[in-house]
Chain A
Amino acid sequence: MAIATEVPKASFRLGMLVYDTRYRSITIQVIVLALFIAFVWWLLGNVQSNLAAKGKDISYDFLFNRAGYDIDQQLIPYTNDSTHGRALFVGLLNTLLVASLGCVVATFIGVFAGVLRLSKNWLVGRLMTVYIEVFRNVPLLLWIVLASTIFSEAMPEVKEFKVTQEMIDTGTPPAASMILFDTVSVSNRGTNIPKPYLDRPLGGTMIAGVPINYSTLAVLLTLFASLWLNARIRASAKAIQEATGVRPVTWWKSIAIVFVPTIALLLALGLHWDIPHFNTDANGVSKGFNFVGGINVAHSFTALLIALSVYHGTYIAEAVRSGILAISRGQTEAAYALGLRPNRTMSLVILPQALRVIIPPLISQFLNLTKNTTLGMAISYLDLKGTLGGITLNQTGRELECMLLMMLIYLILSLLISLGMNIYNNSTKLKER
């Protein structure tokens, strides 16, 4: 064969910067880079001169100063003597709390509504369509504000729960009563729910200002251990099935393993519920101005949670519906033709494929829900936006620092969630050519 000879290189001309595919992209990128650097330079220059004009500097020292404001919902100890940094942390925890609970509730609502919308039942299908269309075509902010307004305006006042001597005499019940077997009260001042209480707690410690409760830790550990054992049981059942062709019955083992140890531990720790109530005198007449016991959940939290869940639930419902619809009828028919029964078809053929379609939009809804917790600001829910981006910002006047820090935190949260999604996507990607 002939020897490949190198074409003599044409000498470089200026026109090649524009007309030669090898240099063209470099030319363009250099221009873009120059423009970008100039733009950033211009921005930074402006920031500098603006800060100088206002006599400010950039400093995050304020995070270590006394905050001086109260936060009504705190998952870790916080007083108005705590620092701004701690207020930030309390706010972040509030964000995470409402976001994670919201994701769970919204998923339940969404799966429920999505499946029902597909049901063969005409009436229920239509009702779910109405629910989905109404809730997703109206701004989320409206649902949040409406929920909050209903709570604060339409719920009975605390005093209406009270039993007076007169009522006992005449035998009339109080104007308002508690719900769920007298364990939960919804008044215009908040929702009071029972609080779990341990007679024999294991104590706790503080690590870097965050309280660690040994009892909670123990319960969680037990639960995880049980779940792990359960997974082992299922794995061994599968092994037996693969070896002999017969799958041993495991459901009762699973139930026992998952629930018994945890319940036993809780009983050993002496769990009981502290139910919200009024202090009463000997006759049963209520005393005091407010409920005692239980946990008071602020309406801002409840309203935000409900609104986020029902709103994002509609999007999840649509994701579920289209996920199930995306699996072609042919798949079901093929499974039936192989002799699989409907429930096995669902669990072995349809669901694994549908999940692959459903999970990505589901996670992006989680992402949206997390970002939308910032709307709690409209009803004074003190999340990260309320503390760092709200009161702290206004008190210290450090707009630049607070906003940048806040954006960074939200960015990290979002990136973590999308990271999770990418890992999932890669692990379930269909192997195709």
Chain B
Amino acid sequence: MAQAQMQVSDEVAIQITAMNKWYGTFHVLRDINMTVNRGERIVICGPSGSGKSTLIRCINRLEEHQQGQIIVDGTELTSDIKNIDKVRSEVGMVFQHFNLFPHLTILENLTLAPIWVRKTPKREAEETAMYFLEKVKIPEQAMKYPGQLSGGQQQRVAIARSLCMKPRIMLFDEPTSALDPEMIKEVLDTMIALAEEGMTMICVTHEMGFAQAVANRVIFMDQGQIVEQNAPKEFFNNPQSDRTKLFLSQILGH
């Protein structure tokens, strides 16, 4: 992998300042401060229940935060619907369970949002869709329904679906956790290819190989807080916090 290719610019893509979130009385996210530059690839890891999914779901406001500030691409996420719409059409998201629309063909899944949200002409949307399907290497499945595809293929379709909206930032919420082991690689390859093109990515995952290969930065979260962040090499070889050490020993210690 040519690390040098992946340029990180100084431009700020996401700025999170002193963000707090509660579920009822439960304090899920505590004082999150985080800056993501354009072109940066960040892997967030941590034990389950540590708030990592909640954090990235806040970035396109699938979850509401109660305190602090999230600025995505210069737009602050408030309860203003116009801002939310703007951010959501700039930020793509890939879910653990794919969440493809089972009643639509793959092609329709890909063209739906461009046609209705971006108001793209249908033909153009279909061309874009086919382009991205080629990119994730399954153009021949365009006319099938999601239920007819394997998990790995579905996840690749889900990635292509997000890309069709031409997002500037991509969020991945445990994209490989629901996959059979032999399918993980094909999805990771797709993500790596995406990273090589310079996409800004935030990825919640436990695939440490992926983190070492493409991430600029690894963030470790526990109990709703950012415990440690570092470049992958440093993070894995020389963890500072005890919690991080424990976590790494648990997931790597077979």
**In their complex, do chains A and B touch, with some C-beta pair under 8 Å?**
yes
Chain A residues, Cβ within 8 Å of B225 = 1
Which of the segments B78-86, B162-170, B197-205 contacts the partner chain?
B78-86
Q: Would you call A1 and B31 a contact (CB within 8 A)?
A: yes
Q: Say whether A3 faces chain B, with CB atoms less than 8 Å apart.
A: yes
Q: Would you call A16 and B80 a contact (CB within 8 A)?
A: yes
Within 8 A of A (CB), among B8-30: 17-20, 30
Q: Say whether B102 faces chain A, with CB atoms less than 8 Å apart.
A: no
Contact of A10 among B67, B78, B81, B84 (CB under 8 A): B78
Q: Say whether A6 faces chain B, with CB atoms less than 8 Å apart.
A: yes
Chain B residues, Cβ within 8 Å of A4 = 18-20, 31, 67-68
Q: Would you call B33 and A2 a contact (CB within 8 A)?
A: yes
Chain A residues, Cβ within 8 Å of B30 = 1
Chain B residues, Cβ within 8 Å of A1 = 30-31, 225
- Pick the most buried of A1, A3, A24: most chain B CB atoms within 10 A of its CB: A1
User: What is the bound-complex CA distance between A356 and B78, given in angstroms?
Assistant: 46
Q: Say whether A5 faces chain B, with CB atoms less than 8 Å apart.
A: yes
Nearest-neighbour CB distance to chain A for B58, whole angstroms, equals 14
Nearest-neighbour CB distance to chain B for A13, whole angstroms, equals 10
Chain A residues, Cβ within 8 Å of B17 = 5
Q: Say whether B141 faces chain A, with CB atoms less than 8 Å apart.
A: no
Q: Would you call B79 and A22 a contact (CB within 8 A)?
A: yes
Chain A residues, Cβ within 8 Å of B79 = 20-22
Contact of B31 among A2, A6, A10, A19 (CB under 8 A): A2
User: What is the bound-complex CA distance between A16 and B67, given in angstroms?
Assistant: 19
Interface size class of B (residues with CB under 8 A): 10 to 19
User: What is the bound-complex CA distance between A4 and B29, given in angstroms?
Assistant: 12
User: What is the bound-complex CA distance between A16 and B81, given in angstroms?
Assistant: 9
Q: Say whether B69 faces chain A, with CB atoms less than 8 Å apart.
A: yes
Nearest residue, chain B, Cβ from A10? B78
- Pick the most buried of B20, B68, B79, B82: most chain A CB atoms within 10 A of its CB: B79
Q: Would you call A19 and B82 a contact (CB within 8 A)?
A: yes
Q: Say whether A430 faces chain B, with CB atoms less than 8 Å apart.
A: no
Nearest residue, chain A, Cβ from B69? A7
Q: Would you call B81 and A19 a contact (CB within 8 A)?
A: yes
Q: Would you call A21 and B67 a contact (CB within 8 A)?
A: no
Within 8 A of B (CB), among A255-312: none
User: What is the bound-complex CA distance between A37 and B17, given in angstroms?
Assistant: 45
Q: Would you call A20 and B68 a contact (CB within 8 A)?
A: no
- Pick the most buried of A1, A2, A4, A6: most chain B CB atoms within 10 A of its CB: A4
Within 8 A of B (CB), among A375-431: none
Q: Would you call B68 and A7 a contact (CB within 8 A)?
A: yes
User: What is the bound-complex CA distance between A376 and B27, given in angstroms?
Assistant: 60
What are 27 A-B contacts with C-beta separation under 8 Å?
A1-B31, A1-B225, A2-B18, A2-B31, A2-B33, A3-B18, A4-B18, A4-B19, A4-B67, A4-B68, A5-B17, A5-B18, A5-B68, A6-B67, A7-B67, A7-B68, A7-B69, A10-B78, A19-B80, A19-B81, A20-B78, A20-B81, A21-B79, A21-B81, A21-B84, A22-B79, A24-B81
6 tightest A-B CB contacts, nearest first: A21-B79, A4-B18, A22-B79, A19-B81, A20-B79, A1-B31
